[in-house]
Amino acid sequence: MKQNPLLPHLSSKLFACYTGLETELVYRRGFNLPGFAAYPLLTTPSDKLLLDAYYKQLIELARGLGVGCILDSVSWAANRDRASALGITVGQLKWFNIEAIEFIASIKQQNPDVTIVLSAQVGPRDDGYAPRHLMNVQQAFSYHCEQIMVYSSTKADLISAFTICYAEEAIGIVKAAQKYAMPVAIAFTLEIDGCLPTGMALKDAIAMVDAETDSAALYYLINCAHPSHFAQIFDGGAWMQRLLGLVVNASCCSHQTLEQATDLDEGNPAELGKQVAEFHRRYPQLNILGGCCGTDMRHMKSIFEAVLNGK
């Protein structure tokens, strides 16, 4: 591996993870983000200052609560297909992916007193809720190699693939990370029935990825789903030991409803905190916690205060 696989968040220490930036920019800040891409903001000094402030909010929260934090690069949509739709060339895309890591690396350097992990975020090739064109493993491997190869030359500590909808794409991502000696984590998104958008059970998806990659993924997460969507699938089975993270939505609505919504459903931060804390109490290996769509630092604070107060 490029980095020591014993990364600081592979421990019992709590780590904060926030991936709700794009939703917050669109609904709370009024930004127009074509293709839901935040990385073009890296070209504008005023927008970079705004991104800097969001990252530092997370770091301040971690510092105040005595936990670590994961800084995810603003590159969820920074792959070839999504960039092409925005008129961004392959060369420009490479620059964006490198700059996204250099940006968070500089923020980490400014905050040496907080344990910070630099996560190179990879998103799905297709829609993050309802993929229309499913790839086989080889296609997914070839596709994601391009972005992961770029990250392998940066200061990123690991690859984090978020909002992945089906096992074959996850396998391709893990294999691409293996090729370039990068540690990798996979975050699957779930529907209201607790299954992946393709209908596969989460434990079956994890088993399939592990079987095809010799368990090469460092760990798995659930993201972009509300706790009520997956409570019924947590059966305490051995597969759950591979699950280290919950990065949850504020709203309990389905993805289809959220896609059609014109207003942001912020849910109930206090209730969300209690729900996540209960999962952590029952399954203490879940040490990477945080918020996805609809959440902000209120939700993040509520989650970690509930977890810490429950100890």
Q: Which residues are annotated as a binding site for Zn(2+)?
A: 224, 292-293
Pairing of strands 68-72, 15-18: parallel
What is 26-45 written as a DSSP string? HHTT----GGG--GGGGGSH
Neighbours of 216 (CB within 10 A): 16
Which pair of structure tokens corresponds to residue 207?
């088993």
Please check whether residue 249 is in contact with residue 293, taking contact to mean a CB–CB distance below 8 angstroms: yes
The answer to whether the CB of 130 falls within 8 A of the CB of 197 is yes
**Cβ 35 vs Cβ 77: under 8 Å:** yes
Token output for 135 = 């790839």
β partners of residue 184: 159
Question: What does 145-208 look like in DSSP terms, one character per residue?
Answer: HHHHHHHTTSS-SEEEEEEE-SHHHHHHHHHHHHHTT--EEEEE---TTSB-TTS-BHHHHHHH
Torsion sign across C-alpha atoms 109, 24, 255, 193: positive
Per the annotation, binding residues are 224, 292-293
